[in-house]
Amino acid sequence: MKSQRAYPVFFGIIILLSIVLCGIEGKKIASVNVNGTIQQIDKNSKFIVVNDKKVLIAPYTKIVDEKRNRLSKEDLKPKDNLEVDAIPLRDSYHANKITVKAPKKGP
């Protein structure tokens, strides 16, 4: 008998907690665009240096060319022109997406 009364109370608490917790949002950090050329590539491809700032490359960082073709970290080369969507950290950036731009054609 006691367990039958406990079920509605238990489910009521679960529903109340889920409503309250779903309304709580974490602090969102705005991402920034970093444009420039690769100055240096880490030998393990964990980061690159763009505009004298370290850009960390995570396993989930999306790397594409201008036509949205998927690339890998190994496709990145020094002097590649990039646009990086990243989260700024204290002394570096954490890359969400790296777009490799086509080289500019000279006159």
70 falls within a domain: yes
In tens, the pLDDT along 44-91 reads 889 999 989 999 999 999 999 999 999 999 999 999 999 999 999 888
pLDDT band for 105, please (50, 70, 90 cuts). Answer: low
pLDDT of residue 25: 55
Report helix, strand or coil for 22.
helix
Measured distance CA(39)–CA(77) in Å, rounded:
9
Whether 73 maps to a domain, the answer reads yes
pLDDT of amino acid 70: 96
Q: Which CATH number belongs to the domain containing residue 87 in this structure?
A: 2.40.50.320
Let me know if residue 11 belongs to a domain: no
**Residues contacting 41, CB < 8 A, separation 6+:** 48, 49, 76, 77, 78
Containing domain of residue 48, as a range?
32-101
Q: Tell me whether residue 5 is in a domain.
A: no
pLDDT value at 13 more than 60: yes
d(CA 86, CA 103): 22
Please give the tally of structural domains in the chain: 1
The pLDDT assigned to 103 comes to 78
Q: Identify the CA nearest to 51 among candidates 64, 35, 66, 67.
A: 35
Mean pLDDT of the chain: 84
